[in-house]
Structure 1
Amino acid sequence: MKRASAYWVERLKLEPHPEGGFFKETYRSLLTTTLGQFPSERNISTGIYFLLTAENFSAFHRIKSDEMWHFYAGDPLSIYVIHENGNEECITLGLDLDKGEVPQAVVSANSWFATEVKDGGDYGLVGCTVAPGFDFEDFEMANRDLLVEQFPLHKDLIIALTRV
């Protein structure tokens, strides 16, 4: 029998994402804007499907826009956020509200964040909406040593969820 995650990758035509997992852009607003913190014009909003499996994780990275996560299928995801002030937050994205899971969550612009399938899970399928729209020019993959130097209290988490 085919794994459920393989079904979603095949049916939604997902491709490997540089931070880990699989994705497909599903929306890019035709409206654009120019804002001071961005080096060039940005689409107002973008959206993707994003899938993680137990065998991989989304490594710590940050973007210059807010990112809203929407849970669709599978197992809950843990989103680890290190805010600009150094505070850490773990958001559990899922549908079991009685266990503290939320079906939607926002990661604020410029926060470092990483995601993995919650303990014992197989995969999680979510959507991510970014506003102003995502552009790889605004994407920064974390350097493990530099992030640990900046946030030593979160060393173990950073080491576990970075690749270099």
Structure 2
Amino acid sequence: MNTKETLIKTLHLQPHPEGGYYKETYRSQGNISKEGLPSAYGGSRNYATGIYFLLTSDSFSAFHKINQDEMWHFYDGAPIRLHIISEAGVYSQHTIGRDIQAGEVPQLVVQGGDWFAAEVMGDDTYSFVGCTVSPGFDFKDFVLPERKELVTLFPEHAEVITRLTHH
């Protein structure tokens, strides 16, 4: 049986700035040129990238955004609750997991430009997922805002933003 310690050690996962642990597992060899992308990218990007992502119940993935669409894939552990605030300020939450009859989904796409955060559903456990990003992920596209900045943008969502930001 997997444990969070086993997954971290065996898969060589490293701490992620948003919270949790990750390891890049795929980066396409092909690139999309700067001219083929919207101006927000400021350079070329790989066609796609993929990571393992492990989140534990004693932490959370803080609200952040990227330019790209990001598809989450559930692998193991407890379900994960994903919180999304669209660019227009619409809040939604989704449960990624195995129990389809309970409304969980095994994969979910976050649209590029949307703010999102995640937390494990349960105590003393973990969620192990994969994330596929297209165009490929680059930390130049990663925005991890301060709490005050996000609450100023979306005061109607201050409670969830405050709970799922680090400072």
Alignment TM class, shorter chain as reference: over 0.9
Mark the CA change 1:78 to 1:121 in structure 2 (over 3 Å): closer, same or farther.
farther
The answer to whether the Cα contact below 8 Å between 1:95 and 1:103 also exists between their aligned partners in 2 is yes
Q: Identity across aligned pairs (percent)?
A: 49
Where structure 2 has 5 or more consecutive residues not aligned to the other structure, the ranges are: none
Distance (Å, rounded) in 1 between the aligned partners of 2:46 and 2:112: 16
SS at match of 2:156: helix
**Residue 80 (structure 1) aligns with:** 83
Compare the two structures and name the one with the higher strand fraction. Answer: 1
**Residue 15 (structure 1) aligns with:** 14
Where structure 1 has 5 or more consecutive residues not aligned to the other structure, the ranges are: none
> What TM-score do you get using the length of structure 2 for normalisation?
0.94
Which stretches of structure 1, 4 residues or more, deviate above 4 A after TM superposition?
A: none
SS at match of 2:5: helix
Distance (Å, rounded) in 1 between the aligned partners of 2:38 and 2:164: 31
Distance (Å, rounded) in 2 between the aligned partners of 1:126 and 1:162: 20
Please report the RMSD computed on the Cα atoms of aligned residues, expressed in angstroms. Answer: 1.3
Aligned partner (choices 142, 145, 148) of residue 151 of structure 2: 148
SS at match of 1:141: coil
> What TM-score do you get using the length of structure 1 for normalisation?
0.96
Mark the CA change 1:146 to 1:152 in structure 2 (over 3 Å): closer, same or farther.
same
Distance (Å, rounded) in 2 between the aligned partners of 1:107 and 1:160: 20
- The count of corresponding residues between Structure 1 and Structure 2 is 163
SS at match of 1:145: helix
Q: Where in structure 2 are the equivalents of 1:26-105 lying within 5 Å?
A: 26-34=25-33, 35-37=37-39, 38-105=41-108
Distance (Å, rounded) in 2 between the aligned partners of 1:63 and 1:8: 26
